[in-house]
Amino acid sequence: MVVLKGYGMLRHSRTIMRTAHGRIIQRASKYRIVHDVDLYRMFRIENATQPDVRVFRTESARDGITMNSRGLRSQLKDSVPVAGLCPQGAYGIQDCLRSGFSSVKNELLPSHPLELSEKNFQPNKDKMNFSTLRNIQGLHAPLKLQMEYRAARQIQRLPFLPSSNLALDTLRGNDESIGFEDILCDPAQSEMMGEPHLMVEYNLGLL
């Protein structure tokens, strides 16, 4: 029996098992096992930044336990959605108005000095806090806290509806402070609405 197993990407939770006679049995697996078959696809998805969706996909366990063994380090972004790879515009081509003309320089560097540091701000802050906590109080402290964060992150509405993230905010202490993320670009007042079916499919990894 061969079970296709891999690491990194979360895909649909079915394993394809081939018996000794070559018959393929499909079985819904209790664990999300990841298929690492298509390197190009994995690379493509790895570089395309879908930060919150990825966290949501890795952390939300609709029908099982998620396995993201790399922890916080894997959530740090080292690039932003980039011109050539996985173009973000309509019909899969470069949206010149938004991201400028494609060039090698554009593709290698983020376009605003703050873009990368802002994307990584929360994971970096968490990493720093957890490592300090680990040094002071021992391994159990960050482990317990991270468990609580994972549980709180799973409390979400449907992908196309705005979630309040109340539990997560309370854990992080964001319910007692106001920052730019509360004032600017409020997702509840976004002028663009995504197509609900596509967003749900994207979240489930079917798209």
Q: Which stretch binds other proteins (CB under 8 A): 39-47, 134-142, 144-152, 185-193?
A: 185-193
Q: Is 89 in the site for other proteins (CB under 8 A)?
A: yes
Does residue number 120 form part of the binding site for other proteins (CB under 8 A)?
A: no
x/- map, 33-52, other proteins, by CB under 8 A: -----------------xxx
Output 25 or 96, the one with its CB closest to other proteins.
96
Binding test (CB under 8 A) with other proteins, winner from 66, 88, 120, 154: 88
Q: With binding defined as CB under 8 A, does residue 162 bind other proteins?
A: yes
The amino acid at residue 113 is P
Residue 178 lies near other proteins (rule: CB under 8 A): yes
**What is the helix (H) or strand (E) element at residue 3, kind and residue range?**
strand 2-3
Minimum distance, C-beta of residue 25 to other proteins, in the bound complex (Å): 33
3 state DSSP class of 31: strand
Give me the half-sphere count of Cα atoms (radius 13 Å) on the Cβ side of residue 92. 1
Query: Does 142 sit near other proteins (CB under 8 A)?
Result: no
Strands 2-3 and 24-28: unpaired
Q: What CA–CA distance (Å, rounded) separates 1 from 130?
A: 41
**Contacting residue, 29, 141, 160, 169, with other proteins by CB under 8 A:** 160
* Partners of residue 27 on adjacent β-strands: 15
The nearest distance, CB 114 to other proteins, in angstroms, is 6
Q: Which of 70, 69, 66 is closest to 30 using CA atoms?
A: 66
**Taking a C-beta distance cutoff of 8 angstroms, is the pair 187, 39 a contact?**
no
Q: Could you give the strand order of the β-sheet that contains 14-18, starting from the edge strand earlier in sequence?
A: 2-3, 14-18, 24-28
* 138 phi-psi bin (left φ>0, alpha ψ -120 to 50, beta other): left
Q: By CB under 8 A, how many residues form the interface with other proteins?
A: 49
24 binds other proteins (CB under 8 A): no
Q: Can you give the binding site for other proteins, defined by CB under 8 A?
A: 50-53, 80, 88-90, 97-101, 106, 110-115, 117-118, 121, 159-160, 162, 176-187, 190, 192-196, 198-199, 202-203, 207
